[in-house]
């Protein structure tokens, strides 16, 4: 990594790629990149001084990035093999690394705190980074979401050698990391287009635990169905929301839109902690994050202050709009377990109100593999508006549409709708609590829905 003086990112608009681009830009290196789609994130990167093109032709690459000796090319799995820029770099002997390899290099040179899990990893890693960063310990962080406290997915510290990283299981990317400490929030099977079987998916998490450095620690959600393969002198800690473990919560109370709980460590108790983002699932995520912070020397008062001041993550259980008549929330949930956690939390906050969910399935393969599980969780809504599948990196699969979910959702009030017809449909509905779910481009609809509700 040290021999390169320039960095070019193919897929620079991805949440993980953009954090790395920002990192090298902040460090003073020339950074540029390509992405297929212009988004708020790419606009922010351009405002910060990073050169981005949205046309994949080779002549869009800045001329000073065409030296194979000093330019590292960084790619994501989302870049197709026939991308002209990728082909050019391959044919001209550039060194090409996956994002995960570059993150792996960083963890080898620092104390990496790597947070993995099918769901919960973005929130847990962001809370942990906030707790460390606002304390006397401090940290660096590469996050899988935009932290509302800092309006960025990158934190830089000159004082600390700790670096918090969201460890991505897709394409076995997290096997490139060398954690000092690791957190596993969940291991529910996903990405079966890569892993094929649930057993292979869980095995990848077991291999991940073997990568923790000697003298480090694994903090694992109690009851996860994997057997850790820890090196000697790696400590194992368990955590849960309220099911015991080395770290857990007690006396969880919800009142007046607030959640408070006691945080239990192996040796102490911190009473009456107030959760900054009052979603019940965030109690469990906060316990894991507080465990990380506690193990790294964050004090009781710093933990208390940090948890209450945490203001959430863009598209993670965000309160978008609230009036006397309607509440509008937005959530990134795109796996059945995430939907369950989010819908349960909303029911907990609004037990006596009608909840309407707008869900955009993400990936044909995930829809095919988990149609029944999606239908089961969506059946806990009072009303469902189901959008078409967002394909992301995939080509269509014959017979796989949103309708395979809709037809087995067990509520009467359910509708299939296109993105184009969503706003006219909402105009006709009597809405009480409205929530958008999904990891595709549904976020582009959120400002439009907000304006509709305000009117």
CATH of residue 79 = 3.40.50.720
Q: Domain for residue 1, yes or no?
A: no
Q: Domain for residue 401, yes or no?
A: yes
275 and 379 co-located in one domain: no
205 and 347 co-located in one domain: no
Rg of the chain (C-alpha set): 22
Residues whose CB falls within 8 Å of the CB of residue 424, separated by 6 or more in sequence, listed in order: none
pLDDT at 299: 97
Q: Domain for residue 105, yes or no?
A: no
261 and 148 co-located in one domain: yes
305 and 322 co-located in one domain: no
pTM: 0.82
**Distance, CA of 26 to CA of 157 (rounded, Å):** 11
Q: Domain for residue 104, yes or no?
A: no
- Please report, for the domain that includes residue 199, its CATH number: 3.40.1190.10
CB under 8 A, 24+ apart: contacts of 90-98 = 92/68, 93/68, 94/68, 95/4, 95/68, 97/72, 97/73, 98/74, 98/171, 98/173, 98/176
361 and 282 co-located in one domain: no
Query: Based on the structure, what is the number of domains in the chain?
Result: 3
Question: 309, 331, 364: which is the final residue of a domain?
Answer: 309
Question: 67, 98, 129: which is the final residue of a domain?
Answer: 98
**Positive or negative: CA dihedral 117, 126, 338, 76:** negative
pLDDT at 77: 81
Q: Which domain holds residue 410?
A: 318-454
Q: Domain for residue 142, yes or no?
A: yes
165 and 281 co-located in one domain: yes
Which residues of the chain fall below pLDDT 70? 1-2
362 and 440 co-located in one domain: yes
291 and 327 co-located in one domain: no
- The DSSP secondary-structure symbol of 64 reads G
pLDDT at 377: 97
Indicate the angle between helix axes 300-309 and 281-295, nearest 10 degrees. Answer: 140
Q: Domain for residue 184, yes or no?
A: yes
pLDDT at 392: 82
pLDDT at 316: 81
pLDDT at 349: 83
- Please report, for the domain that includes residue 346, its CATH number: 3.90.190.20
Residues whose CB falls within 8 Å of the CB of residue 120, separated by 6 or more in sequence, listed in order: 185, 186, 281, 284, 285, 288, 341
362 and 259 co-located in one domain: no
118 and 90 co-located in one domain: no
392 and 442 co-located in one domain: yes
374 and 261 co-located in one domain: no
Residues whose CB falls within 8 Å of the CB of residue 77, separated by 6 or more in sequence, listed in order: 98, 170, 171, 173, 393
Question: 257, 276, 309: which is the final residue of a domain?
Answer: 309
């Amino acid at each position: 990594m040290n021999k390169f003086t320039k960095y070019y990112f193919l897929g620079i608009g991805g949440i993980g790629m953009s954090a790395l681009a920002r990192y090298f830009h902040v460090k003073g290196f020339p950074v540029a990149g390509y992405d297929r789609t212009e988004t708020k994130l790419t606009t922010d990167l351009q405002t910060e001084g990073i050169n981005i093109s949205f046309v994949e032709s080779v002549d869009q690459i800045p001329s000073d990035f065409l030296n194979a000796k000093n330019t590292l090319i960084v790619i994501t799995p989302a870049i197709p093999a026939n991308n002209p820029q990728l082909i050019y770099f391959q044919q001209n002997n550039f060194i090409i690394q996956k994002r995960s390899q570059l993150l792996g290099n960083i963890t080898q040179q620092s104390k990496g705190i790597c947070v993995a899990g099918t769901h919960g990893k973005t929130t847990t890693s962001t809370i942990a980074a906030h707790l460390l960063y606002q304390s006397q310990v401090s940290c660096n962080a590469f996050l899988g979401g935009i932290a509302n406290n800092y309006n960025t997915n990158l934190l830089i510290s000159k004082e600390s050698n700790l670096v918090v990283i969201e460890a991505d299981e897709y394409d076995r990317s997290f096997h490139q990391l060398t954690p000092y400490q690791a957190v596993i929030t969940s291991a529910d099977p996903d990405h079966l287009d890569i892993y094929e079987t649930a057993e292979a998916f869980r095995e990848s998490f077991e291999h991940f635990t073997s990568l923790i450095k000697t003298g480090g620690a694994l903090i694992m959600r109690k009851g996860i169905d994997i057997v850790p393969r820890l090196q000697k002198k790696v400590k194992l800690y368990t955590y849960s929301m309220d099911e015991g473990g080395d770290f857990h919560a007690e006396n969880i109370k919800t009142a007046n839109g607030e959640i408070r709980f006691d945080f239990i460590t192996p040796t102490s108790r911190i009473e009456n902690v107030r959760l900054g983002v009052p979603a019940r699932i965030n109690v469990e995520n906060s316990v894991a994050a507080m465990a990380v912070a506690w193990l790294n020397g964050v004090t009781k008062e710093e933990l208390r202050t940090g948890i209450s001041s945490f203001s959430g993550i863009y598209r993670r259980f965000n309160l978008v709009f609230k009036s006397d008549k309607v509440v509008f929330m937005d959530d990134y949930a795109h796996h059945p377990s995430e939907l369950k956690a989010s819908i349960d939390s909303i029911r907990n906050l609004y037990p006596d109100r009608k909840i309407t969910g707008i869900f955009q399935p993400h990936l044909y393969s995930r829809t095919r593999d988990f149609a029944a599980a999606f239908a089961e969780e969506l059946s806990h809504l009072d009303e469902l508006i189901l959008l078409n599948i967002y394909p992301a990196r995939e080509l269509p699969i014959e017979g796989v549409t949103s309708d395979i979910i809709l037809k087995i959702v067990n509520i009467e009030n359910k509708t299939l709708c296109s993105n184009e017809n969503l706003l006219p449909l909402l105009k006709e509905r009597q809405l009480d609590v409205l929530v958008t779910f999904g990891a595709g481009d549904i976020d582009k609809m959120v400002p439009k829905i907000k304006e509709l509700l305000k009117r």
